[in-house]
Amino acid sequence: MISVEPRKSEEILKSLDREKGVFFIGCSGWKSLCNPGGEAQLQRMKKEMELRGVTFTGTMVVDALCNKGLDELSLLRQFRQVLRSQVLLVMSCEVGVQALSITSGRMTIPALRTVSAEGFQGVLGEKEPCRLCGDCLLDLTGGLCPLYFCPKGLLNGPCQGAYRGHCEVDPKKACGWELIYERLKIQGRLDGLQHYAEPRDHSEILPLIRLRSRLAAEMQDDVTLSPEGGSKR
Amino acid sequence: MTFQEKLQQRGFMITSEVTPPKGTDISEVIGDVEGLKGRVDALAVTDGKNSVMAMTPLVLGHLLQGRGFETILHISCRDRNRLALQADLLGAAALGIGTLVVTTGDYASMGDHPQTKPVFDLDSIQLLKVIQKLGSGQDMAGNPLRGGAEFFVGATVSPIPGTEAALELQLVKMEKKVAAGAKFFQTQPVFDLLGFERFIKRAAGFGVPILASVLLLKSASMARFINKNMPGILVPERLIEEIGNAPDRVQASIGICARLVHELRSLCQGIHFIPVGWEKKVPAILEAAKL
What integer best gives the mean pLDDT of chain A? 86
How many domains in chain B?
A: 1
Task: Name the residue facing A196 among B107, B158, B176 (closest C-beta).
Answer: B176
- Would you state the pLDDT for residue A127? 72
DSSP letters for B65-111: HHTT--EEEEEESSS--HHHHHHHHHHHHHTT--EEEEE----GGGS
Determine how many CB atoms are found less than 10 A away from the CB of residue A122: 10
Interface test with A, best of B49, B85, B107 (most A CBs within 10 A): B107
Interface contacts (A, B; CB < 8 Å): 103
Option in B123, B156, B234 nearest A155 (CB): B123
Give me the domain span that covers residue B250.
Answer: 3-288
Single-letter amino acid code for the residue at B78: R
Q: Which residue has the higher pLDDT, B254 or A217?
A: B254
Query: Which residues in chain A have their CB less than 8 angstroms from residue B234's CB?
Result: 163
Mutation target vs B (from A160, A186, A200, A206; most B CBs, 10 A cutoff): A160
Neighbouring residues of A162: CB distance < 8 A, sequence distance ≥ 6: A168, A175, A177, A178, B161, B162, B166, B231, B232
Q: Helix, strand, or coil here: A165?
A: coil
- The pLDDT value recorded for residue A116 is 79
From A69's Cα to the closest Cα of chain B, the distance in A is: 31
Does the distance separating the beta carbons of B163 and A178 come in below 8 Å? Answer: yes
3-state class (DSSP) for residue B211? strand
Would you say residue A212 has pLDDT above 80? no
Q: What is the mean pLDDT of residues B124-149?
A: 97
Query: Is A131's Cβ below 8 Å from some Cβ in B?
Result: no
Distance from the Cα of A59 to chain B's closest Cα (Å) equals: 35
Substitution target in A133, A144, A152, A180 with the highest count of B β-carbons within 10 Å is: A152
**CA atoms of A71 and A104, how far apart (whole Å):** 8
A107 sits in the region (left: phi over 0; alpha: psi -120 to 50; else beta) called beta
**Which residues 138-157 on chain A approach chain B with CB closer than 8 angstroms?**
151-157
We report the CATH number of the domain holding residue A54 as 3.40.50
Reported ipTM = 0.89
Q: Which one-letter amino acid corresponds to residue A127? A: K
| pLDDT tens, position by position, B67-85 | 999 999 999 999 999 999 9
How many structural domains is chain A composed of?
1
**Cβ contact A146:A180 at 8 Å:** yes
Residue A182 lies in a domain: no
State the pLDDT at residue A207: 57
A198 interfacial to chain B (CB closer than 8 Å):
yes
Query: In this predicted model, what pLDDT tens digit does every residue of B151-165 receive, in sequence order?
Result: 999 999 999 998 999
Q: Give pLDDT, residue A233.
A: 41
Mean per-residue pLDDT, B120-133:
98
Q: How far is A191 from chain B (nearest CA, A)?
A: 10
Q: Do A158 and B169 touch (CB under 8 A)?
A: yes
Question: Does residue A71 carry a pLDDT above 70?
Answer: yes
In B, minimum Cα distance to A160 occurs at: B158
Find the CB nearest A157 among B156, B176, B232.
B176
Neighbours of A85 (CB within 10 A): 23
Check CB contact under 8 Å for A164 and B107. Answer: no
For the cut 80, the answer to whether the pLDDT of residue A147 exceeds it is yes
Could you say which residues from 50 to 109 on chain B have a Cβ atom under 8 Å away from some Cβ of chain A? 78, 82, 104-107, 109
The β-bridge relationship of strands A112-116 and A3-6 is antiparallel
Q: Is residue A22 part of a domain?
A: yes
Coil/strand/helix, residue A71 = helix
Asked whether residue A157 is assigned to any structural domain, the reply reads no
Residue A27: in which H helix or E strand, if any?
strand A22-27
User: Would you say B274 and B216 are in contact if contact means Cβ atoms under 8 Å apart?
Assistant: yes
Across the interface, of A163, A169, A199, the residue whose CB is closest to B107 is A169
Nearest CA in chain A to B233: A163
What distance in Å separates the CA atoms of residue B115 and residue A53, rounded to the nearest whole number?
51
> Are A162 and B107 an interchain contact pair (Cβ–Cβ within 8 Å)?
no
Q: Which residue has the higher pLDDT, B289 or A204?
A: B289
d(CA B252, CA B244): 9
CATH number of residue B139's parent domain: 3.20.20.220
pLDDT for position A122: 64
- The whole domain housing A38 covers 1-134
- Cβ contacts of A154 on chain B, cutoff 8 Å: 104, 120, 123
DSSP A100-130: HHHHH-SEEEESEEEEE-TT--S--SSS---
pLDDT of residue A115: 82
Chain B residues with CB under 8 Å of A155 CB are 123, 126
Which among A175, A16, A154, A161 has a CA at the least distance from the CA of A85?
Answer: A16
B111 touching A, CB under 8 A? Answer: no
- Looking at beta carbons, which residues of chain B come within 8 Å of A157? 125, 169, 172-173, 176
